[in-house]
Amino acid sequence: MVRSADAVVVGGGVIGVSTLYHLAARGARDVVLLERDTLGSGSTAAAAGGFRAQFSDEVNIRLALRCIDAYQRFQAEFDIDIGFRQTGYLFLLRAEEEPHFRTALRLQQSMGVPARIVPVDEALRHVPGTSPDGLSAATYCPIDGLATPHAVVQGYAAAARRLGARIVQHEAAREILVRDGRVVGVRSAQGEIATPLVVLASGVWSPELARTAGIDLPVTAERRFVHYVASDGGLPERTPLTIDFATGLYFHREGAGLIVGGPWATPEELAPVAVQRLPFLADLGVANTWSGLYEMSPDHNALVGRCDEPAGLLYATGFSGHGFQQAPGIGEYLADLALDREPELDLSALSLRRFTDQLSRPELHVV
């Protein structure tokens, strides 16, 4: 049983394992990750695996470029196939949505993102069989795409272990121990671990643990549903991850079939919206449905940073549907903060301080 550590990461989702790996890769030796269940069993298990540079917030675009690069190099670096495929993302738009997408596009292009606006007929050539009803244009970005979250979790975890980090599964943290304004340990069901550093990466469950250290994390859970259709309906292998922005419907190829997702819990609720956009779905049945939790923050941007008090407490949650794709950069950033290194990527705008300083920064492209 672990009794002390230089740092404890709480939560073994994609954010926790990325952080653990980046701590170990920066030379931190005595680092431990506590996962109450099994690695990747939280929101990460439900993630579609999409990544994109098509955000409206400049911080998210910078972070996306770094993370896409990291996922592109992942197989060579960690010797594991993460199913990395740059099929692009296609946002299908109504006229009223175009102005803010055009504004975001200008920002993306100014930062080197090859996203562009495309006319409806060109957009639909990527997704044959899709109805053009109500659409005025689309945005497409060829560097966006998909990877496999489970493989990323395994890749980071194995690499962290090789560097000497310890991963303890089936052990839940119950309390963050604080003395004189500093973190001094974590209490779990199995006892206490003395540590001066805790990284809270417990997904949607982070607020309850943060409260034990007197920190209020404004994160709420929102359930999202994923439906698997066993046929591809004629959509090509390299179908972009396509989002009907007004309804929140999204779809992409998955193996021999299709994933169709959004806020609809049952095939019956999904059908009217999905069949309107993808008429061929009327003849295909949903083979399987599952769900997971989005960790929503008030402005739909991640909450990532270091507490002033208690000192030694770091947090990363509130990813509002884009935590999988941000994991490489967030892990790097947290490891730098934890080890008092100058972060290469400045993500200070994502700290909790933005709410007390009235600097909330809404991300508009939430899927």
Ligand X SMILES: Cc1cc2nc3c(=O)[nH]c(=O)nc-3n(C[C@H](O)[C@H](O)[C@H](O)COP(=O)(O)OP(=O)(O)OC[C@H]3O[C@@H](n4cnc5c(N)ncnc54)[C@H](O)[C@@H]3O)c2cc1C
Question: 83: buried, middle or exposed (CB in 10 Å: 19+, 13-18, 0-12)?
Answer: middle
Does 314 engage in binding with ligand X (CB under 6 A)?
A: no
Exactly one of 155, 321, 328, 329 binds ligand X (CB under 6 A); that residue is: 321
Q: Which of 234, 245, 324 is nearest to 278 (CA)?
A: 234
Footprint (CB under 6 A) of ligand X, residues 121-180? 172-173
Q: Does 294 bind ligand X (CB under 6 A)?
A: yes
| Residue 293 binding ligand X, by CB under 6 A | yes
Q: Which of 325, 328, 336, 351 binds ligand X (CB under 6 A)?
A: 325
Binding mask 217-256 for ligand X (x = CB under 6 A): -------x-x------------------------------
Q: How many residues bind ligand X (CB under 6 A)?
A: 40
H-only helix segments in 79-225: 98-110, 120-126, 149-162, 206-211
Q: Give min distance, CB of 60 to ligand X, in A.
A: 11
Q: What tokens does 27 get?
A: 């030379």
Binder to ligand X among 44, 54, 56, 247 (CB under 6 A)?
44
CB of 281 to ligand X, least distance (A): 19
For the CB of residue 163, give the shortest distance to ligand X in the complex, in Å.
19
By the 8 A CB rule, do 262 and 226 touch? no
250, 367 Cβ separation under 8 angstroms: yes
Distance CA 13, CA 44 (A): 6
User: What is the token pair recorded at 160?
Assistant: 């962290």
Q: Which of 274, 275, 338, 279 is nearest to 304 (CA)?
A: 338
Distance (Å, whole) CA 169 – CA 105: 43
Binding flag, residue 55, ligand X (CB under 6 A):
no
Residues that bind ligand X (CB under 6 A): 10-16, 34-37, 41-44, 46-50, 172-173, 201-203, 205, 209, 224, 226, 292-295, 317, 319, 321-325
